[in-house]
Amino acid sequence: MSSFVDVALPVPLRRAFTYRVPDGMTLRLGMRVAVPFSGQKLAGFVLRTHDDPPVGLKRVLSVAGSFESEPVFPEDLHAFLLRAADYYLHPVGEVLKLAAPALPKEAFKALKESGFVEHADDIKGRRLTTQLTSRVTRVPEVALPLRAGVKQKALLALIEARGAMLLTELQKLVPGARGVVSSLVEKGVLHAEDVEIAADRFFSADLPREAPFEATGEQRAAIDTLTTALRAGKGGAFLLHGVTGSGKTEVYLQLVADALEREQGALVLVPEIALTPQLVARFRARFGEGIAVLHSGLADRERHHAWRALRRGELRLAIGARSALFAPVPRLGVIIVDEEHDSSFKQEEGFRYHGRDMAMLRAHMTQAVCVLGSATPSVESYYLTEQGKMTRLSLTHRAKHQLMPEVEVVELARNPGVGPSGHPLITGPLHRAIQRCLSAGDQAILFLNRRGFAPSLHCRACGEVARCPACSVSLTEHRRAGVLRCHYCDFAMPITEACPQCHALALERVGIGTERLEDALQTSFVEARVGRLDRDTAAGSGVEEVLDRMRKRELDILVGTQMVTKGHDLPGVTLVGVLLADQSLAFPDFRAAERTFQLLAQVSGRAGRGDRPGRVLLQTYQSDHYAVRFALHHDYLGFYREEIETRRELGYVPIARLVAVRADAGDEVVARKVVKELAELCERMPEVKDRVVQVLGPAPAPIERLRSRFRMRFLLRSRSRAALRKVAQAVVSRIDEGVSPARAHVDVDPVSML
Ligand code: ADP
Ligand code: ZN
């Protein structure tokens, strides 16, 4: 029995802390323990057990108790998490805490009473299929206090509009809803009662059961290659490049079925689970209840149950968004990353990991088969196949032999002025196409990547744009909600005609958002039933409802942001209209062309998936841009070839690797000073002097001010992973010494350039 343990704590320090093991306590690697740390008790993870008293310490504190009787993570997962923390230069204790199921409050309380807890894991709970939440209603006649904040008002407006709302739904609409609700309950304005709801609304999705398909030739070939790799037991990385509608899901399903039959486990990662109810439903239809669906709507208790069931081997298949990567799937044989190009796999806060890259690492470490699937693979992934580091599997035809849709360009420059709809963005050609589609009894999807009514408000008196007080971005008018809102910090204020800067009553609506487009369509096509899908309508089960209505043909036109471009399989859709194809090209990001091509190809892929051929209209000012040109012909490879040449010339990802170093502070001078100091530190490193690593910047971030903080950054770029890491490590050590009052971090393989 060891007398000491090194414990990783969830603190931003990249080192472990040594504690004494009390007599009679047995601790093993990976167990979660409570230890005293600067006057409080923290939960940490045992990284090492040993008998070496720490040198130079007079008194070694003792472990206060252990929360579980066994290691939290299976051994392979524990090892993977350590590697992931190391790769991203992130404190191990924070990574382990993030990956572990949250400790129930009872655990710490029990610890306080007895000072020693074991088996806190066996907390009595409900069945996996139900979840406890509150149903919140307005108490009539109790007025909202005069000094109520914007959040309180917004939340109240929501509840009043719908009569009653579930806390789980409110939490998706209003940040910090739980706190706001409980303060309003205290004030007597709201009433909350406990209710049990289906924990997993994907259980209730009423979709027809689906028997396995007779695979097409291409599907068969892909499935055979993958199952052969699975049976060989040595793992392998595969890129399943299948055009939209080629039936990638069927390949996943048959591979997973094979793994389950062999008593192995499988993990399926999807970009956003709420946006892919269909994929989850197909897995349900094939595998019944034996699936842990991990999503943000689960309460801690439910997550805990799903976790336990996987950990004990009662469930062997997990589906979820990015963080499901950490699910303790037993005997992991397969990891699938669907729509691998999607940027939501990258976590942009705290532990900034990329779910796709880490899926590949985890699969590699456990010798599992890793499948990345997409119709528009990321340039990084396709590059790996060209380098022979990943095997490419192609599905070049649609599963039911439907043709790819015809894509046409509508030159916005040549269709100026107001079209027949009375709106400049609905051009004559698009208007006529919608008419034809509707009179044929078909459905249309219209894509505009801006939510709200008007994206900005311009003051005719002072020439300014109405801005968020905390961020350097303009406010968007949301007419339905009656507010001007910041899309970055969620600041909201009542709609006003007065300019926030000069107070003149001269605000003018500029541009068009999905709300306004919805109105314009409704007035032009009076008979049509128009639905909308964007962050504003997606709350709760909003996505499922809208998609369901589309599927049941209760809607004729669906308007939406990039949410409509996701993998939806809606056979009635024969027309797709892209209102402004250039929108994403203007982004200050070296991936702007790639993003644009992906969006255009993906949204085009929603057309013509049924019996009738599809048609796509791309409205654009830049029809000669290569992202638009190749999207016209569904030519991924053409796009890739041109893009990789550009990246090569500019020395960007994936030819070179990047690390972003960012700092922010309330005071601009402080932010500038800190980032300058960090950049100078890099300049002094031999790797930078020898030009193996380049420092690009520092410069203010494109969004210079966010949540009242000034943001500065620079990029480190290199073709040598080792050299880049060395410089990044030096930055991290400097940050660990403290840069207060600024905050600073490194972001390895950054995605967001904002
Ligand atoms: P992708 O994800 O590649 O865009 P999906 O997996 O959504 O494509 O499949 C497209 C459609 O084709 C779905 O309706 C699916 O049920 C159907 N499908 C897939 N494979 C087959 C097959 N082998 N035979 C018949 N239909 C299939
Ligand atoms: Zn803001």
What is the token pair recorded at 291?
A: 């699936």
Q: In sequence order, which residues have a C-beta less than 8 Å from that of residue 212 and are 6 or more positions away?
A: 250, 253, 254, 257, 286
**Residue nearest atom 19 in ligand 1 by C-alpha distance:** 247
Q: Which atom of ligand 1 is nearest to the CA of 243?
A: 3
Task: Estimate to the nearest angstrom the gap between the alpha carbon of 601 and the chain centroid.
Answer: 20
Note the ligand closest to the C-alpha atom of 485. 2
**Residue nearest atom 20 in ligand 1 by C-alpha distance:** 247
State residue 118's pLDDT score.
40
Q: In sequence order, which residues have a C-beta less than 8 Å from that of residue 474 and are 6 or more positions away?
A: 455, 456, 457, 465, 466, 467, 468
How many C-beta neighbours within 10 Å does residue 523 have?
11
Q: In sequence order, which residues have a C-beta less than 8 Å from that of residue 543 and are 6 or more positions away?
A: 274, 275, 277, 533, 563
pLDDT digits (tens, 9 = 90+) for 449-469: 999 999 889 999 999 899 999
Note the ligand closest to the C-alpha atom of 470. 2
Determine contact, residues 126/132, Cβ cutoff 8 Å. yes
Q: Which residues surround ligand 2, an ion (CB under 5 A)?
A: 468, 470-471, 486, 488-489, 491
Tell whether the model's pLDDT for residue 122 goes beyond 50: no
pLDDT digits (tens, 9 = 90+) for 520-567: 999 999 999 999 999 988 877 788 889 999 999 999 999 999 999 988
Give, for ligand 1, the residue of 207, 209, 213 to mutate: max count of ligand atoms closer than 8 Å to Cβ.
213
Average pLDDT over residues 6-19: 90
Note the ligand closest to the C-alpha atom of 566. 1
**Tokens 């603190």 label which residue?**
11
Strand extents, DSSP E, 156-286 = 164-166, 190-198, 236-242, 265-269
Determine contact, residues 252/268, Cβ cutoff 8 Å. yes
Q: What is the pTM (predicted TM-score) of this model?
A: 0.87
Determine contact, residues 453/447, Cβ cutoff 8 Å. no
pLDDT digits (tens, 9 = 90+) for 49-83: 999 888 877 788 999 888 888 899 999 999 999 99
**Tokens 């051009």 label which residue?**
427
Determine contact, residues 329/306, Cβ cutoff 8 Å. no
**Residue nearest atom 5 in ligand 1 by C-alpha distance:** 247
Ligand 2 centre distance from Cα of residue 473 (Å): 7
pLDDT digits (tens, 9 = 90+) for 689-719: 999 999 999 999 999 999 999 999 999 999 9
**Residue nearest atom 10 in ligand 1 by C-alpha distance:** 245
Look at residues 227, 299, 212 and name the one whose alpha carbon lies nearest to residue 266.
227
β-pairing verdict for 265-269 and 332-338: parallel
Ligand 1 centre distance from Cα of residue 511 (Å): 38
- Output the CA angle 524-526-528, nearest 5 degrees: 105
Q: In sequence order, which residues have a C-beta less than 8 Å from that of residue 276 and are 6 or more positions away?
A: 270, 338, 566, 567
Q: Which atom of ligand 1 is nearest to the CA of 210?
A: 16
State residue 209's pLDDT score.
56
Can you give the length of the chain in residues? 754
Residues with CB under 6 A from ligand 1: 213-216, 219, 242, 244-250, 399-400, 567, 569
Rama region for 511: left / alpha / beta (φ>0; ψ in -120 to 50; rest): left
Note the ligand closest to the C-alpha atom of 150. 2
Average pLDDT over residues 376-390: 97
Q: Could you please report the per-residue DSSP string of 650-683?
A: HT-TTTSEEEEEEEEESSHHHHHHHHHHHHHHHH
